[in-house]
Structure 1
Amino acid sequence: ETEEYHVVYAKAVVLATGGFGRLHIQGFPTTNHYGATGDGLVLGYRAGVPIRYLGAVQYHPTGAIFPEQIVGLLITEKVRGSGADVLNVDGEKFVFPLEPRDVEAAAIIRECAPVEKGGRGKGVRTPTGNYGVWLDTPLIDLLYGEGTIERKLPAMVRMYRRFGIDMTKEPILVYPTLHYQNGGLRIKPDGSTNVPGLYAGGEVTGGVHGTNRLMGNSLLDVVVYGRRSGTSAALYAKEQFRDFGKPTLQHVYEYEKELAEIGVPEDKISPVLLPNYVPEHVRKKQLTSYYQGNLY
């Protein structure tokens, strides 16, 4: 809020900033919290930590694509596991509903993409101009008896009813949503990086899940590597007695100098911290001004 930088002295630092879903890679909606803007990646990379598998991003096959207020919200696999089929605009079942996430998501994207872009052009256009496919939720009650959806997915049923949609009687619209960052900072088994005193754990790291995380393993990741990196950082800090000197932002200055030398545009501020969803035409009317430029 104050646009001020504060240098904090520490013998050890643990990066646990999560992923980059709020950067909306390739324009996809996301399940991620608002702070998931890749800041830990930026901080670690600037400090000299290598990055691995950063191109491996996981998209959850079924994110809400309508109504607009919940676009990107995760629609759990439990819906498909309970019997709901995935259908295109013609009501055709075009993919087995329980394929692995990457296969299922790719099939839905291909179904919705226009023919001229290699897709099938069979997506359902939403009232707000997006495209998705039907998730046939009423089929669950038809297969297993009335009340099954209410019993298995009570919170989801209530959420959709707030928007005037009864998912026990009508299908819901879904589309893949950016869900997990498989790649990230390279760490060692104890959570340390190649930079002395710098540790990381969770989604900010890369390599723990290869290039395609299995469902549920992110929780295992944060428990294991959160503990390992925290313990390792504490032990490292306990053993440090030397004077580190006055903390500075010299590494940031050097990083910006390198950007300028290779011609990388500096029109975006990073770390982002929080995304700004205010439309451009509204920003121009705002009385507040935001810092634009570098640290020089």
Structure 2
Amino acid sequence: MSDREIGKEARSVEYDRVDVSVLVIGAGAAGARAAIELTERGVDDVLVIGKRSHGDAHTTWARGGINGALGTHDPEDSPAIHAADTLNEGHFLNHPAKVETVTEQMPDRLRELDEWGMEYSRTDDGRIDQRFFGAQSFRRTAFAGDHTGESMLDALVNRARELSVPYRENVMITRLVSDGDRAYGAVGFDMDTGEYVLFNAGQIVLAAGGHAAVYNRHTSRDDENNGDGAALAHDAGASLMDMEFVQFHPTGMAVDEDDSEWSPWSGRLVTEAVRGEGGRLFNADGERFMERYSPDQMELDARDVVARAIAREVAEGRGTENGGVYLDISHRDATFIGERLPRMYERFSELGVDMAAEPVEVAPTAHYGMGGVAVDSDGETDIDDLFAIGETMAGVHGANRLGGNSLAETVAFGVVAGERIAERAAGPGDIPDELLADVVEPHFRDLTETAGRSGEHDVETVIAELRQLMWDHAGILRDESALREGLAALDDLREKAERVDVGPVASESFEFAIDLGFMLTVAEAIFRGALERTESRGAHYRTDHPETDPDWRVNVYFDAADIGGMIPRTDSIPEPSERVQAALDEGHELDYHQLE
């Protein structure tokens, strides 16, 4: 008997049902670009859902730029060199074919965004301008001042509206409907009304962002990037990959936590564009300390290198009173800073700091998860009909992400996944009766039991404890003892999570309780991956295994066990194509001093 035949009156919990050919979960750049591609290819039954208002996604917080080998200033640049830089920065844990997918697409994707009205910064002759970013051989990062993500998402949303792509806002997905081999839909709730919703979908695209907000100092808003995508996919039976690699951006805002004006900005991103435009790092003794760590590339070395250098300066007593260092671009003219870094200049001005006259305090902050859901060349997971793209997927960035590649990945794989799904989209299908009985109905009952539950712990307090635990035990510097202590403490937090006080379905505490469940899954994967990888590589630095081990040039996967838990395995990595290998052999590298 089908769900339609059963009817609402026979359900143990009331819920609405929505039938759709393709459900896109996540309304940032990746989700929007996939929906655009599907619609342009004639799939007229697409629905994009987001946890926030339309156009309000984490993409808007990406500041500095988006990579593509346009050659505006450096015509010798190419997609192959872009791929070589990406593999170098990723310490060769990236999947080369996925990297090339991104780098080959990006010149066209940048021009396409231009056609759709993206407000790029431009050269005097009207071309898309490009700037230096850390660890890049050429000026490859296109930008819109220091609000690139915001301008990019505006262009994508406007294009989606032109195509009348259906969108539903303020909906949170809590579980995917899967039998472990194939995905059939998703369940969740309307965050405004509290109504439960079942989405019956022929194909599902997870574009739900990353998981950097499992750390207490991070660049995301507190209610996003909590690991929704990775946790949903893992619960559905998909494999996770390389979760130990979390990028700590060198320059988050370092603030006085007791100052009510400054404290909300703790960890928020001070874009790499500040350094790309000539910003310099100084310790509390006035030393330009990157001369010791990277005399050739200085402040524009790889993010992991700069982040560890700052962490060491602070640890050895040369940090500021707020636990950071100074970033100084005051040698640049105020007009230049206002034009090239308008959001940064405005933000600090509102806080009483003139970047054109004085330095700002910065410290490393959790920024991006290089790991995520394992996917094939089209973005499909090992669960049929379930795709993962954007920061939710793994494979492009390896052990450390090249700055400017995150926005590039979103639009490139939005196109790739959209092309593949459009080839086989054939309507909503139907959720098997046994999944309705064994997955959907029990999950809605669980949600109902959670809502309005009286508990002894405040959910936001438990989330704060988890974030502090991650920072202390799985942060920039790691060792086996700290990781095992953290994993044991995670079990205690999991027990606390079962006893948190929760309001009704549409309440903030209910949303946070769901977030906490996702965060616990992701935190476990990070701990277990970091324990498994007994070497240091990229963003993963083990003080008890400080060297890079060639035998560990493998990806670490975690598969879901039948009775719960995570089963680790490793797999080798393919070699680059001949043209990318040639670019690697040529040894392209930025010489910072050409900026002086």
- Normalising by structure 2, we get a TM-score of 0.39
The one-letter amino acid paired with 2:349 is: R
CA apart distance, 1:268: 3.1
* C-alpha contact (below 8 Å) 1:7/1:247 kept by paired residues: no
Q: Tell me the SS of whatever aligns to 2:301.
A: coil
- Hey, what's the Cα distance between the residues in 1 that align with 2:386 and 2:212? 23
In the alignment, residue 69 of structure 1 is paired with which amino acid?
P
1:15 aligns with 2:206: yes
Q: Residue 201 of structure 2: SS of its match in structure 1? A: coil
Q: 1:75-154, aligned counterparts within 5 Å?
A: 75-95=270-290, 96-112=298-314, 119-126=315-322, 131-141=323-333, 147-154=335-342
Q: Any unmatched runs of 5+ in structure 1? A: 113-118, 257-262, 270-279
Identity across matched positions, percent: 36
- Cα offset, 1:250, TM superposition: 3.5
Is this contact kept in 1: 2:238–2:383, CA < 8 A?
A: yes
Q: How much is the aligned-residue C-alpha RMSD, in angstroms?
A: 3.2
1:206 maps onto 2:408 in alignment: no
2:497 to 268, 279, 283: 268
Distance 1:240 1:169 in 2: 59
Q: Is the 8 A contact 2:200 2:430 kept in 1?
A: no
Structure 1 CA distance, aligned partners of 2:337 and 2:429?
Answer: 60
For 1:40, the equivalent position in structure 2 comes to: 229
* Structure 2 unaligned residues grouped into runs of 5+: 1-190, 256-261, 291-297, 447-490, 518-596
Higher relative CO (Cα under 8 Å, sequence separation at least 6) belongs to: 1
Deviations 1:227-282 (A, max 9, x none): 2223333443317867633643735879x9xxxxxx7834337xxxxxxxxxx9xx
Aligned length: 255
Kindly indicate whether residue 344 of structure 2 is the aligned counterpart of residue 156 of structure 1. yes
Whether contact under 8 Å (1:7, 1:248) holds in the other structure is no
Contact 1:192/1:232 (<8 A) preserved: no
Deviation of the 1:289 alpha carbon: 9.4
Q: More deviation in 184-193 or 152-161?
A: 152-161
1:169 corresponds to 2:326: no
Distance, in Å, in 1 between the alignment partners of 2:413 and 2:220 is 22
Amino acid at match of 1:168: A
- What is aligned with 1:276? none
Letter of the 2:272 partner, please give it. E
Q: Distance in 1 between matches of 2:248 and 2:289?
A: 18
What letter matches 1:268 in structure 2?
Answer: A
What residue identity is the alignment partner of 1:14? V
Deviation of the 1:74 alpha carbon: 1.8
Letter in 1 for 2:270: I
Do the aligned residues in 2 keep the contact of 1:85 with 1:139 (CA within 8 Å)? no
Secondary structure in structure 1 of the residue aligned to 2:421: helix
- Aligned-residue offset at 1:75: 1.6
Q: Distance in 1 between matches of 2:401 and 2:266?
A: 23
The residue identity in structure 2 corresponding to 1:59 is F
Q: Does 1:51 align with 2:240?
A: yes
CA distance in 1, matches of 2:308, 2:377: 33
SS at match of 1:12: strand
- Distance, in Å, in 2 between the alignment partners of 1:243 and 1:156 is 49
Shift, 1:109, TM fit: 1.3
Q: Deviations over 1:167-188 (max 9, x none)?
A: 1111100111211110000001
Residue in 1 that maps onto 2:252: 63
Give the 3-state SS of the residue equivalent to 2:425 in structure 1: helix
CA shift at 1:47, angstroms?
0.7
1:110-166 deviations in Å (ceiling 9; x for gaps): 211xxxxxx31221113xxxx11111222334xxxx643334323322221111111
- Change in CA separation of 1:43 and 1:151 when aligned onto 2, cut-off 3 Å: closer
Residue 232 (structure 1) aligned to one of 402, 420, 438: 420
Kindly state the Cα deviation for residue 77 of structure 1 after the two structures are TM-superposed. Answer: 2.2
State the Cα distance separating 1:92 from its structure 2 match.
Answer: 1.5
CA spacing shift, 1:244–1:250, aligned 2, 3 Å:
closer
Alpha-carbon contact 1:197-1:237 (below 8 Å) kept: no
Aligned equivalents of 2:325 and 2:220: distance in 1?
18
> Is the aligned partner of 1:218 residue 2:406?
yes
Contact 2:212 2:220 in 1 (8 A): yes
Inter-CA distance 163–71: structure 2 relative to 1 (3 Å threshold): same
Query: What is the alpha-carbon distance in structure 2 between the residues aligned to residue 152 and residue 161 of structure 1?
Result: 15
The reply to whether residue 186 of structure 1 matches residue 374 of structure 2 is: yes
1:273 paired residue number: none
Stretch of structure 1 that moved more, 7-16 or 178-187: 7-16
Amino acid at match of 1:107: A
> Could you tell me which amino acid in structure 2 is paired with residue 124 of structure 1?
T
Residue type at the aligned position of 2:365: T
Q: Give the conservation status (yes or no) of the 8 Å contact 2:217–2:266.
A: no
Task: State the shift of 1:290 in Å.
Answer: 4.7
Query: Contact (CA 8 Å) 1:63, 1:75: kept in 2 or not?
Result: yes
Q: 1:192 to 1:249 in 2, by over 3 A?
A: farther
Shift of 1:78: 2.5
TM-score by length of 1: 0.75
